[in-house]
Amino acid sequence: MRRSYGFTLIEVFIATFILIVAILAALGLQATSLKNSAKARALREASATVDRAFQELRAANDLTSSCDRLDGSTAGQGTVQCTAVPCALSSGVLTCDSSVADPQLYDVSIEVRDGERVLMSAQSYVRPTLPLGGEDDE
């Protein structure tokens, strides 16, 4: 009997198949990782935009015009949508309606959208800042 050294053709095919499957799996993981990294970056940018928008609104005297100025601005990959509805407290009941004449608070909603997809959404009640010296300034 003759001793054979080396590999048979079927062993080479099986080893090649296993190697190809492993490489394809690694490439799939790489693609998924890049996709998730891009999503995380978009969410981080949207979150920072919402935070900056609320900081700007809290420092504003006129929340409605400040919100209008933010509305439609771009944030990374998304577009900002801002809504400020005036609210008044009367007899322990908070009423938010566009007809409120002397608002004590604003119900502010901010969304960052990428097309139809909402990346980040936040809602808060914001009190308008008073001019220096309080309400008695003329």
- 49-98 residue pLDDT tens: 888 888 888 888 778 888 888 888 887 778 899 988 988 888 888 888 88
pLDDT tens digits for 94-112? Answer: 888 888 888 888 899 999 8
Nearest-angstrom CA–CA distance, 15 and 101: 78
35 token code pair: 């996709």
Instruction: Give CA–CA dist 82/64, Å, rounded.
Output: 9
Structure tokens at 4: 């054979």
d(CA 54, CA 22): 48
Angstrom distance (rounded) from CA 82 to CA 111? 7
